[in-house]
Every structure is written in structure tokens, then in C-alpha cells.
Amino acid sequence: MTITSKWGRRGFALAGGVLVAACGRYGSAQSATEKQQPIQVKSSVTVTAQADGSADAAYATQAVDPGVMGTQPVVNQPFTLTTLPTQMMVNTQVKSFKDAMAYMPLVSYTEQQGPEVLRPATRGFQGSIAQNIRMDGMAMAITGGNPMEQYQKLQVENGLGAAMYGPANPSGMFDFVLKRPTPERTTNVYLEQDSRSVGTLWLDAGGRMGARKWFGYRTNLLFGDGTMWVDQSRLRRRLAMFAFDARITDRTTVDAHYSAYDLVQRGYPGWFSYGQNTAAGGTTQNPAPSFVLPKAPDPTVVGFGQAYAGVNLTTQTTSARLLHEFNPNWHAMMGGLAQRLDRFIDTPVNKITSNNGDYSSSLATGFAPRFGVESDLGYITGTVNRWGIRQDVVIASEGYRFNQYSYQTPSAASVLLGTANVNAPKIFAPPAAGLPQNKGLYQSAVVHQQGISVADMIMLPKRFAVRLGASQDWIGVDNYSSVTKRSGGSNKNGISPSVSVMYKPTESMTAYATYASSLQQGDIAPGGTVNAGQALAPYRSKEWEVGYKTALPGVTLTTALFRLERPFANTVSYNGTSQTIFQIVGQQVNYGAEISGQTMIMHRLLLNGGFTALNARLNDTGVAATNGKRFVGIPGYHSNLYGEYRMPWVANLSITGDWQFTGRRTDDDENLHTTEGFQTVNLGFRYDHRIWKKMATLRFTSNNIGNVRYYSTIAAGDITGTNASANTAHLGAPRTISTSLQFAF
């Protein structure tokens, strides 16, 4: 069910027209005992789970928590900021980070070694493992299991965020906000069924106790197991999450959390790799014609994956914070986080070996078996009023230590299983030597970063405002070739500034222009170069952005035009010799437009969505065939539109739907081949009813109801423009069914 560019443009225009035109007043879906009334805009960022599954405040977020972004409402933040609250995650039956990003139209991702091993992105730039990811504002790693059931919301700031969070890729900041104790006792039990036979039991309970309810608790316990949409596959999820807080005084709170998540995914389709035809005499400097990526085959056919192959991911995270309110205008927080990710990865890789769809299948085992993160965050935020000018001030300190582990005696990077064709995949016997194990590990690299940031939002007379921010950071890397021997590294420092000018026609509208310059850790030179193992000097990315926001009682709307650029490194000849050196040689330049919005029409039809138009190019690659060409795998257009309709003749019944469109993507660095765009549709319903005086909510969703075959990710094997590495493509999920029954006690 692929679509042509003609229909892509029509769908793009339709989504934009619906969002902009639907500007009526809106309201929330009421509980079974309430009458339908218009919603009043809330000023709180927290969107709590309702017992009846209603869309609280139409999933709207009007203000951000006090933190590194300050205390201003969302409409006053001079950048694109989107939020996925817990109630929308529950209503759409989101379980993984990949599921969540499907309902955030301005966000994308790149799959890596499995369906949940991802790198998130905004505006066409891929994030790093830890620099762009936060839990309650503190750095954590993303390339492991990450259950969305433990989060209150996911908040994403598009573009450069280094002025607030420290050096990072220009791919946005993703902040996962944990669930915390509820003001009153709540208990929700979920019975879920997914795909063929994956059954899940999930308990979410919280409350407060003691004199004046000084002690709070929240727990999420989950167990799920069964077969997914491929025969002989297995999905097992186990989560134990506990959060506590103690109100030491009326203004001081100490909180802590611990979570352990274990994920097993076996038998899923492996990914396809394709690219340089080395058998035809291709070289890095003169690549031969590449093998073409075939059309996406049926992912439910057994053989693209193997029942014994996949990923086992275990994530353990602990955090603690001290929060203090000096007065209603001044807040402070200091906290720390520790995380360990153990990763057992032996995913099948199907390498295309001809333009007829032949491939060789191998187990890819050469991935980092363990990551560790220790991070810290502290800030003071408040408001100053002097001489008729208001200032919102933030002073913060943020940093982390990222530890990567390797095998002391590494096994082969891949183990050949056999050969097949995409039209006739095969089941292969497991390796005779058995599967590799995570034994004999040592700490092979340490990335460390610490910085101090300040920001000041100055509200000037005549509806103007200026926001100034800067972060001074110290970043470094230490590499180790054995348990005790340091092989190299670097230590650098620099400033990441940002400046924004805003004009507010009314309190609920903001037009802004922003410039930011962001420091980020330089890449490490690969083996075979004269500077192998050495980190390049920190990169500096730049962003220009103009936008408009409105948060009226009936509609929220955000628009932005942007241009971002960042350096990229390449392997080039060293002083005219046969040796090579890894160094910065060009720029990736992405520019485009994005729009997102939300509204309710006639108090019954909720619309929430957006779209992005993006032009991502590689310049100054040093290779004529690839210079100025589109970046592999980044679509020119992407949109998503989610809707809920409350049925007028059946009380407490809502029909839900989601439509996603992704445009044409280029398959190779030279832009010789492309993959057609695709669109998927999800349909379902939600029904609330009281059983024995307890509220029960039934949710049903058919995802990809058209059973479209598509590649969820097409990604460059490298970003250097040399086509020296194989590109990758991951199969999207087929039609699946998700059902849940929630009981609120």
C-alpha cells in the first residue's frame, strides 16, 4: 500500500488543512457520571491518569515544570516543545519508546540492533546514546529497554538544547518524567493482550500516608510474555518500579526511585544491510554500483529472523532528588542518577548480495555488551521584578559520566548462518559453537561531561521579551585498550550560547526568533587511520529558527522554520600518502518547517497532530557523486494525525484513530535509488463502564489496519558521504491487535 509522491503531497496538505482549520472550542472526554462540559485550560504541566480513561484537558500541556527551562508557560518558550502525557500513552496503549514516538509527529528515530534499541531524532539529526536523553532532567542511556509504563510524560525540545543541558547532538532533548506519588490513593490494574498471544498484567498504584500525608509512594509492576506476530517469536517484559518521597517540611521534599526492566525479544525479523558492491571491485574512493534495497517483504514470514536470535536487555536505574521551594517564585533542586544497561545482542543481519533479492544471513554479535551512566543535576530558578521588568532566571549545573564496556577476548563480529532470498527466507540451525555470552568484560571507554548554565528571560515593555542562555562545559574521553592500559583520549571545554527575541501580540501568542550554537563531543577515529582511537576536537553545531505559537482556550498551535548545520568527519588521505586520517571535512545542513496543533470540534472530535517538511543535505563531502545529495533515510515529509470522537448516542464510547504518512526516502549516498513513501492507519475504540461501583475501561486498537509493508527505518551506514559502509533497513510491524481492560480501585 505504498503511495506516490502525488498522493503524499495531497495527504500532507490535508493534514495541515485539518489542523489549521479546526479552531473550535474544545473539551475533555468526561467520566461516566459527568455531563459534557467545555474544558478550561489548565496551567499545570502534570496530566494525571483518570480512572475512566478520559482525555484530561485534551492531552494539553500549558506550562513546564520549574527546571532548566525556567518557569515560563509553553507558549513563551522560544523553541518547539511537545509533550506526550501519560493518559494519551494509556489510551493509545503505548508500551515502548518506539510506540510513543508514533504519536509525536515532529519526532523520528533510527532503529539499531532491535525494535527497542533506538536513537531518537528531531529535524533529521540522530541523537547520541546519552547526550540527548534525560530522566527527570538527568542524563541516562537510551539504547536499551525503556518501558513507558513508568513515565508520567515524555517531553521533547526540538533542535539545539546545549545552552540548557550541556553539549549534545543537534537532535533535540528527550526528557522522560517519572511517575511520582499521587495525592490520593489510586490503584489501577490492567489486563492486556497483544498480537497473537502476548498477555500482560500491569499494576499501577500510588498514594500518601502518615500525619499530613508526609510520605508518598508509587509502584508499577508488570509482567508480560507470549508470541508476537511472527511464529516462533517471543516477547517477555518484566518491570518493577518503586518511587517514594518524604515531605521533610512544607517546602522541602526528598524523593527517590528504583526501577528494573528486563526485555527479551527473540525471533523478530532481522534487519537488511545493503550498499557497496565490493565483489564488483568497489573501493572507498571509487565505489562500485550498490545492490538495491528490495521492496519491503512480509515481516510475518518465518526466516527473516531466527527463533534463537534477538536481544536480551536489562536496565537498572536509581535516582534521588532534594527539592526545595523558597517561596512560590523560587525553586531549587539537586539530584543524581545511576544506571546500568546490560545488553546481550545477537540479532540476524540479512546482507543483500544481488539485485534479485539474494542475501546472506549472519548473527551480529560485535556490539557493546554493557553501558553505565552516572549523572547529576542541580538548579535554582526564580522570578525577579525590578523597575517594571520581569526576569525569569535559571542557574544550573549538569553533568554525567558514560562508561562503555567491551569483551577482553572479543568473539567474531558476525557468525554466518547461510544464504536465502527475500522471496524464500530460510530457518537456519544455530551456530555449532553456541551463542556468545557476556563474560570477560572491561571498561573500554569513559566519556565525561560537566558544565554550568545560566538563562534569563527578560520581559521588556511593549510586549517584547529576550531570552539569553549559555552553558560553559568541560568534556572529555578516555579510551582503554585493556583492563588497565589507557590508549588515548582528550579533554576540551567551551561555551554553548543561545539568544531569542520574542514578540507577544497577546499573552496567549508568541512570535520568536532564536539563534543557538552548540558544543558536542567529537567522534573517535576508526581503526586503520593514523589517529585511530583518538577523539576529534568537539564539534560545534548552529541553529537558526523562527516560529509562532498560540495557546487559546480553543486551540494550541506551534509553527517553526529552521536551519541547522553541523560538521561531519571523514577518512581522507594523509599528506598525500597511502595512509589515511580521520578529520572534519564537511557539513550536514538540514532546513525545513514544522507545525503541530490540537483542538476539539463541537466538544466531540479531538484532533492532535502535526507534520514536518525537511531537506537534509550533505555538503563538502569531498566526493563529487555524493556532494550536496540528500541524507540517506530522511523523508522529505512526515505527518501524523490522531483523533478521538465521542459517540453522541452511546455514553462513554469514544472511537479512536491515527493516520501516519512518511514520504519518499533516498536509499544511498548518491541518491540513485529511493523507497516510496508509506502510510499506516490505526483504528480502535475506548469504552468506560462501572462494574461493582468500580470504573472499568476497555480499549481496543488495530494497528496498521491496512497491513502495509514498509521499512520503519532506512539509515546510513556512515554519514561521511563515501558510501564505505553498508546502509541498513528495518521492517515495520504488520497489522496487530492490542486490547486492554483497566480496573480502577
Strand partners, 635: none
For 20, the 3-state DSSP assignment is helix
Which of these ranges, 51-60, 412-421, 480-489, has the smallest mean pLDDT? 51-60
pLDDT reading at 29 higher than 50 = no
Residue 276 banded pLDDT, cuts 50, 70, 90: low
Determine the pLDDT at residue 58.
56
User: Is residue 547 pLDDT above 80, yes or no?
Assistant: yes
Least confident of 283-297, 308-322, 567-581: 283-297
Give the residue-averaged pLDDT of 236-247.
98
Helix and strand element counts for the chain (H, E): 4, 39
Looking at domain 2-223+232-431+445-744, its CATH architecture is Beta Barrel (2.40)
Across the range 74-86, mean pLDDT stands at 91
Tell me the residue ranges of DSSP E strands in 16-61.
Answer: none
- How high is the pLDDT of residue 100? 94
Amino acid identity, residue 142? Answer: I
**For residue 533, is pLDDT > 80?**
no
Q: Nearest 5°: CA angle at 83, between 680 and 120?
A: 65
Strand, helix or coil for residue 278: helix
pLDDT band at 641 (very low <50, low <70, confident <90, very high): very high
Q: Are 367 and 438 in contact (CB under 8 A)?
A: no
Instruction: Check pLDDT > 90 for residue 247.
Output: yes
- pLDDT tens digits, residue range 567-597? 877 777 788 788 888 888 788 999 999 999 9
Judge whether residue 401 has pLDDT over 90: yes
Q: Exposed, middle or buried, 91 (CB in 10 Å: 0-12/13-18/19+)?
A: buried
**pLDDT score for 310:** 93
Q: Which residue, among 365, 366, 350, has the nearest Cα to 434 in the 3D structure? A: 365
Residue 411 has a pLDDT of 67
State how far the alpha carbon of 273 is from the alpha carbons of 361, 675, 694, 714, in Å. Answer: 10, 15, 52, 10
Mean pLDDT check: name the lowest of 256-265, 351-360, 571-580, 688-697.
Answer: 571-580
Q: Any alpha helices (H) in 548-605, and if so which ranges?
A: none
8 Å CB contact between 690 and 32: yes
pLDDT digits (tens, 9 = 90+) for 126-138: 888 888 999 999 9
pLDDT mean over 499-516? 96
Query: Does the pLDDT value for residue 725 go beyond 60?
Result: no
Determine which of 30-39, 183-192, 646-655, 720-729 has the lowest per-residue pLDDT on average. 30-39
Q: Which whole-number Å values give the CA distances from 521 to 104, 401, 454, 472, 540, in the listed order?
A: 27, 13, 21, 14, 9
What is the phi-psi region of residue 693: left when phi exceeds 0, alpha when psi lies from -120 to 50, beta otherwise? left
pLDDT band at 669 (very low <50, low <70, confident <90, very high): confident
What is the pLDDT at residue 723?
A: 38
Domain ranges of the chain: 2-223+232-431+445-744
Question: How large is the average pLDDT for residues 23-49?
Answer: 32
> What's the pLDDT band for 694 if we cut at 50, 70, 90?
confident
The DSSP letter of residue 657 is: E
The DSSP-derived string for 594-616 is: EEEEEEEETTTEEEEEEEEEEEE
CA–CA distance, 704 with 701 (Å, rounded to integer)? 10
> Is the pLDDT score of 540 beyond 70?
yes
Q: What is the pLDDT of residue 271?
A: 92
State yes or no: pLDDT of 11 exceeds 50.
Answer: no
Q: What pLDDT is recorded for position 27?
A: 33
Per-residue pLDDT at 231 = 93
Cβ of 658: how many Cβ atoms within 10 Å?
Answer: 21
The answer to whether residue 43 scores a pLDDT higher than 50 is no
Instruction: Read off the pLDDT of each residue in 354-366 and give the average, rounded to a whole number.
Output: 90
Between these two residues, 421 and 36, which has the higher pLDDT value? Answer: 421
| Interval 617-627 mean pLDDT | 83
The set of cell numbers assigned to 354 is 544481488
In contact, 688 and 696? CB cutoff 8 Å: yes
Please state the rounded mean pLDDT for residues 100-128.
Answer: 90
Length of the chain, please?
Answer: 745
Grid look-up 539568544 returns 499
Of 540 and 705, the one with more pLDDT: 705
pTM of the entire structure?
0.89
The reported pLDDT for the residue numbered 279 is: 41
**How crowded is the C-beta side of 586, counted as CA atoms within 13 Å?**
21
Instruction: Order the strands of the 117-122 sheet from edge to edge.
Output: 108-114, 117-122, 125-126
Instruction: Reply yes or no on whether the pLDDT at 490 is more than 60.
Output: yes
pLDDT at 577: 82
Integer CA distances (angstroms), 661 to 15, 185, 612, 676, in order: 10, 41, 11, 11
pLDDT of residue 709 exceeding 80, the answer is yes
* pLDDT over 60 (residue 404): yes
Beta strands in 97-160 (DSSP E): 108-114, 117-122, 125-126, 133-135, 138-139, 151-157
* Bigger pLDDT: 28 vs 249: 249
pLDDT averaged over the chain? 85
pLDDT for position 508? 93
